[in-house]
Amino acid sequence: MTSDSPVNTVDFRILYVEDNTERASDFVQAFATLGSVTVLPGRSEALAALQQGRPFDLVVVNDELGGLKFLNSIDTIRLDQAFAVMLLSPNAEPDTNVQAEGQPIIDVFPLDYDPTAVRQRLTYLIRKKEYKTAFTTFDNEEPLRMPLGKRLFDMAVSAGVLLLISPLLLVVAVLIRLDSKGPILYKSKRIGMGYKLFDMYKFRTMRTGADKLISGMASQNMYQSAQPEPAPDALCETCQQAGTPCQRPLFQDNMQVCEIQVQRNRKAKAMFMKFKEDPRVTRLGKFLRNTSIDELPQLFNILKGDMSFVGNRPLPPYEAEKLTTIGYARRFAAPAGLTGLWQVTKRGKAGVSDQERIQLDALYARTYSFRTDLIILIRTVKAVFQKENV
């Protein structure tokens, strides 16, 4: 074992999709000391293994075998099983190492990769798994569990409320079906207590294919005059002037894009995409949002134990992926909640940073009790009526 290899305290499992026996042999020889390596010759065999639930921490695939199609076919499996993906592409620049935006980790390396660069990335992934394992068990070999009193309260109240409002839920379901085409419920992947992945439920308030409508909404944008000019092609100004291929590639939605362009577009959307009357929202959806009725299906999440009435808001996987340091990860020691400390103390106030939100989440995780939960619930009743209309 080389000096930069981690001392494994976890079993790190690698699936390598490669039909070239020489490349497969070289990979196993180079990295077998870091974990167990399974080699499969094609996409169909690899997909079958993943669908059967065979556990892997990293999937490495040769792009020449149809890497993009393979990534598309395993999107849902990646979210459920939370493994990383490494694409070996003949078109990648030397030592390219990137992370996907909005998806679990995807790394891109050249097909003739530098073993040292790949080893460094594997070392990081192994240490990350070791940290998550240690954090989840808190060195007591006991998984995180919601306090019994809190869980009993959630079960009793959620079951009672669901029984009382069942006629309302039925009426809303019928109205959504009549108002627009599409499913009644909207399901979104979220990360809760102890990094648990679950489906969070809401009543659907947008038309199906809502994201495709954004391009036709410029005239209704409240900040239309402030939008930056779009780049003339896929390359940023730096790469255009240097006359080189993209030097800051990201892998987003299974396509290579420029990191600088992604950051620019994300900032533009955050700063300049706000609408007086968002046409993506259905007529009924606007009412459901303003009255918070769209959140009522989360009572089923509470009854199931995915969430609690009070806790830290569950995050999408790509946001939770960024919060792995001790200070940030502490927020996941508390249950995911329908409402929480941040909602009743900072919500709606200008200048609230992400750091403040995380600090409030961590504070709740350290100090939550039945008394504080009751106070937050009472204050939430008032906060429900303080919603913006845009």
* Per-residue b or e along 291-323, where b marks 16 or more CB atoms closer than 10 Å to that residue's CB: eebbbbbbbbbbbebbbbbbbbbbbebbebbeb
Highest mean pLDDT (candidates 73-87, 161-175, 339-353): 161-175
Cα(249)–Cα(190) distance, rounded to whole angstroms?
27
Q: Are residues 99 and 45 in the same domain?
A: yes
In a domain, 217, yes or no: no
> What's the confidence (pLDDT) of residue 67?
75
In a domain, 215, yes or no: no
The Cα diameter of the chain in Å comes to 66
Residue 332 has pLDDT above 70, yes or no: yes
> What's the confidence (pLDDT) of residue 120?
86
> What's the confidence (pLDDT) of residue 95?
47
Q: Are residues 122 and 27 in the same domain?
A: yes
Residue 45 maps to which CATH number?
A: 3.40.50.2300
Q: Are residues 292 and 200 in the same domain?
A: yes
Residue 196 has pLDDT above 60, yes or no: yes
Token look-up 């569990």 returns 145
What does the pLDDT average to over 282-288? 90
pLDDT in tens, 31-44: 988 889 999 998 88
Band the pLDDT of 176: cuts 50, 70, 90: very high
Determine the Cα angle at 350 with ends 384 and 307, to 5°: 40
Q: Greater confidence, 384 or 317?
A: 317
Q: Are residues 115 and 37 in the same domain?
A: yes
Read out DSSP for 230-284? PPSSSS-HHHHHHT-S-SSEEEETTEEEEHHHHHHHHHHHHHH--BSS-TTB-HH
Pick from 34-38, 91-95, 168-172, 276-280: least confident: 91-95
> What's the confidence (pLDDT) of residue 360?
86
Using a pLDDT cut of 90, give the percent of the chain over it.
24
What does the pLDDT average to over 230-237? 52
| Amino acid letter, residue 196 | K
Residue 348: φ, ψ to 5°:
85, -5
Residue 390: Cβ within 10 Å count: 9
> What's the confidence (pLDDT) of residue 309?
94
Closest CA to 1 of 38, 41, 33: 33
Residue 115: Cβ within 10 Å count: 13
Q: Are residues 241 and 347 in the same domain?
A: no
Domain closes at, from 137, 160, 181: 137
Pick from 196-210, 294-308, 312-326: least confident: 312-326
Token look-up 């149809």 returns 66
> What's the confidence (pLDDT) of residue 66?
81
Residue 324 has pLDDT above 90, yes or no: no
Residue 99 has pLDDT above 60, yes or no: no
What does the pLDDT average to over 310-328? 76
Q: Are residues 21 and 128 in the same domain?
A: yes
Domain closes at, from 112, 137, 162: 137
> What's the confidence (pLDDT) of residue 195?
82
> What's the confidence (pLDDT) of residue 269?
44
> What's the confidence (pLDDT) of residue 253?
43
Q: Are residues 300 and 254 in the same domain?
A: no
Cα(370)–Cα(147) distance, rounded to whole angstroms?
10
Determine the Cα angle at 131 with ends 86 and 14, to 5°: 30
In a domain, 7, yes or no: no
Residue 352 has pLDDT above 70, yes or no: no
Cα(343)–Cα(348) distance, rounded to whole angstroms?
8
In a domain, 231, yes or no: yes
Q: Are residues 158 and 287 in the same domain?
A: yes
Q: Are residues 119 and 193 in the same domain?
A: no
Is residue 203 within 8 A of residue 294, CB to CB? The reply is: yes
Q: Are strands 58-62 and 84-89 parallel, antiparallel or unpaired?
A: parallel
Q: Are residues 201 and 299 in the same domain?
A: yes
> What's the confidence (pLDDT) of residue 263?
57
Residue 231 has pLDDT above 50, yes or no: no
Query: Range of 97's domain?
Result: 13-137
DSSP state, residue 223: T
Domain total in the chain: 3
What does the pLDDT average to over 34-56? 88
What ranges make up the beta strands (E) of the chain? 13-17, 36-40, 58-62, 84-89, 106-110, 185-191, 197-203, 249-252, 255-258, 308-310, 337-339
Read out DSSP for 286-301? HHHHHTTGGGTTHHHH
Using a pLDDT cut of 70, give the percent of the chain over it.
66
Residue 273 has pLDDT above 50, yes or no: no
What does the pLDDT average to over 292-311? 94
Q: Are residues 129 and 158 in the same domain?
A: no
In a domain, 313, yes or no: yes
Q: Are residues 121 and 107 in the same domain?
A: yes
In a domain, 218, yes or no: no
> What's the confidence (pLDDT) of residue 64?
86
What does the pLDDT average to over 107-120? 86
Residue 103 has pLDDT above 50, yes or no: no
Cα(53)–Cα(346) distance, rounded to whole angstroms?
42
Task: Find residue 241's DSSP bridge partners.
Answer: none
Residue 303 has pLDDT above 90, yes or no: yes
